[in-house]
Amino acid sequence: MSTSKLEYEMKAKIIKALAHPSRLMMVDALSEGEKCVCELTELVGADISTVSKHLSVMKNAGIVEDRKAGLQVFYRLRVPCIIKFFGCIEAVMREEAKTKEQIISSVG
């Protein structure tokens, strides 16, 4: 079964939407449940307009969805399994660390 170029482009859009430390922090926080923008702003330590832009990028990629309650906006993960991607990234990080340790020990 062949994957089309469009499918790869869609996957890249999602990965690009995650490719910022603040966005990764927000996704991690949202894995625990719905959060208001004010909570995410405090978590990230950025102004509300910056956090809103990050959330907009992730919403456009289909990662998060929102709901309004009065003046507040709450976000949640649209597909919570996205957090499994973090485990894969962490596995790559561990392997990379092992490789660097081996290089350092072979030089020393």
In whole angstroms, give the CA distance from residue 40 to residue 35: 7
Domains of the chain: 5-79 (1.10.10.10)
Q: What is the pLDDT along the chain (108 residues), one digit of tens a residue?
A: 577 999 999 999 999 999 999 999 999 999 999 999 999 999 999 999 999 999 999 999 999 999 999 999 999 999 999 999 988 899 999 999 888 787 777 776
pTM for the model stands at: 0.84
- What's residue 1's pLDDT? 58
3-state SS string for 72-100? EEEEEECCHHHHHHHHHHHHHHHHHHHHH
In whole angstroms, give the CA distance from residue 81 to residue 95: 23
